[in-house]
Amino acid sequence: MPLAPDIVHLRRGGVSVVVDLTDGRLPRILHWGADLGALDHEQLADLRSATLPTIGDSAVTYPQPVPVIPQLAEGWLGRPGVTGNRGGRAFAPWFRDAANTTTDDRVESVATDPDSALRIALRLDLSAEGVLSLSAELRNDGTEPYALDGVELALPLPDTAGELLDLSGRWALERVPQRHPLPIGTWLRESRGGKPGLDHSTIFAAGEAGFGFERGAVWTAHLAWSGNQLLAAERTPAGTRHLRAGEILLSGELTLQPGQSYAAPTVHGVWGDGLNEVTHRMHRMLRARPAHPKSARPVLSNTWEAVYFDHDLAKLRRFAERSADLGIERFVLDDGWFTGRRDDTSSLGDWDVDPVVWPDGLDGLADHVHGLGLQFGLWFEPEMVNLDSELARAHPDWIFDGGHGPGLPSRYQHVLDLGNPDAYAHVLGKVSALVDRLGIDYIKWDHNRYLTDAGHSGSGRAGVHEQTLAAYAMMDELRRRHPGLEIESCASGGGRIDLGVLHRTDRVWPSDCNDPHERVDIQRWTGVLVPPELQGTHIGAEDSHTTHRVAPLDFRAATAFWGNLGVELDLTELDDDTFAHVRRWVDAHKQHRSLLHTGRTVRADTGADVRLDGVVAVDGSEAIFGFTVLSRTATWPPARLRFPGLDPERRYRVTEFAPGVPVPAGQRPPWLDAGVRTTGRALHVHGLEAPSLDPDRTVLFRIEAV
């Protein structure tokens, strides 16, 4: 790469990033956001000059934009970018004398602090889609160990970014949005459970007041890491605003020996005019990955809510046969198949087929499933162990121990230390052997406990960082050994959804809740980061197993329709009419999944009681939208339908798309029977009168260019 000028302008995908590289200091991002157009060096220099603030009273006399690694030694009084020490010294490193190289889409910077004997290598990449990615590697160049406490990367915000949006949640109710002003100080979100967690903010956003899906400049950050982490928004009295992200390292967890390096997780920053544009950029980037699934996403059936731990070969053979009759393409046997596993109190870690329940092994079932033309999937929880298991009794030293023994149980289970090479090799060998023997096509990889006491047995040193890397390594190795194997990331539902795990998995499970009333928004907010083809979306029971809310089949199916469709009903108990009804939805999904899984996801800004979400073909030729009423509205009819994302100049035909039961006569606006032909602009600006649906109902619309 060529040596860098003192100021660089990266322009791709409708985004500009201007980076200041003067004086041998670390890169400072002067602008990240809307495209600034072509700027020559003189104009860029003027932009830099115009960005310098005045010096306030009692302030450090070297004012400048803050670098991507903020430094206490430069007068930064917020959160430092690198924290640690060398025997109590080198607590405030000052990286300087940076050597920079650039291309049209990348800046690389290597700087040292000779006094602290540390070296940092930074990289800023702007993808073709307009996603800015920051990465850092810190190396100990000294002769003594360096105790590293953390590395955080910073993305600057303009003064117009005054409103925050992040996500919270709990089991069976993930991705709950919350908004608040950005105050002076720090808004900090931490995940300390060894995974992002059910309350994880998969997007962390700051934007113009009132920003939504369709409008308002918004800047978002995501940390591609599946372990402990933090996300923060910071505003100082000096006027600077930043988004921050990094791995949380527990006390004493990571010490860099001489010559050793630490690679910080990548921070992805996405700017957009509205969250729809953020979504589009993120989805395009993920779909451009070489490892992104290329084949149509198989419709699957999962046995969990159908049979739980009650495994019976005859019933499961029949379940597989009914799956094939339904047009299902992948059969997944969930928890309960391994030695002694009759409930969730025992046997995790004993990854051998139960000889009592399965006296002839799983071979017969797997062969039967494959013979029906279906893929065969199997549930594992490789990182976990029950104390009541042969593995725990044989190897108690393989269990994480925070210094107080194995610690308190959660779901009757504890954590297996995969940083222990023997434990890692044992689990990998067991899982790999079953994949070989049974021809497993798909692993549902679960993770049902937080790592609250994750200390290595013997040393007692914290091990979350090593555990995360070991889980990644095991997934990577299984895929290397078994080309074509697909993996789903599940963690009590949506507890491990991030771009770190998605680099080695093909699907995430957004929530254990299949209730469509909750799933509408769980999928909506998960979908800002994760494209629909990577989200597992299942048709569950009429009476939800998590909320006990009763929902009609069409509402359940219309909610599951968009993602990687699955069925979690007991198919052996469905009557003929219900079975045929489900089959129509499966057929409709398969007919349109190419559009659903390649198109541009768009969402309308609506009132709290209704949702209007859709997918528009990349070329604008067609779209499918879903209108959902979640509760009774103050007005009747409930809303005007204004469809975003269509080509404003093209003419479209809008019709009802009803794989199930059409909208009842008394709820149909006059246009719905014959359809409407008008322009994309009219459909977005003026809109159409909405059907007067009852709560917990969805109607789908097919929109085709004419």
Q: Which residues are catalytic?
A: 446, 512
* Residue 604 CB contacts under 8 Å (≥ 6 apart), including other chains: 213, 214, 611, 612, 613, 641, 642, 643, 644
Q: Which residues, at least 6 apart from 40, have a Cβ–Cβ distance to it below 8 Å?
A: none
Spatial contact of 680 and 648, defined as CB atoms under 8 Å apart: yes
Q: Taking a C-beta distance cutoff of 8 angstroms, is the pair 30, 39 a contact?
A: no
Task: Tell which residue, 322, 326, 328, 321, has the closest CA to residue 301.
Answer: 328
What is the distance between the alpha carbons of residues 281 and 270, in angstroms, rounded to a whole number? Answer: 7
User: What are the DSSP E strand ranges found in 519-648?
Assistant: 536-539, 564-567, 600-603, 610-616, 622-629, 640-641
Cα 609–Cα 614–Cα 617 angle in degrees, nearest 5: 170
Report the side by side order of strands in the sheet with 697-705.
600-603, 610-616, 622-629, 697-705, 651-657, 676-679
Q: Which amino acid is at 598?
A: T
Sign of the C-alpha dihedral, residues 378, 384, 385, 391?
Answer: positive
Q: How far apart are CA 322 and CA 572, in angstroms?
A: 7
C-alpha triplet 465, 467, 470: angle, nearest 5°: 115
Cβ neighbours for 32, distance < 8 A, ≥ 6 positions apart: 15, 16, 17, 18, 132, 155, 156, 219, 269, 271
Q: Tell me how far apart the alpha carbons of residues 508 and 444 are, in angstroms, rounded to a whole number.
A: 9
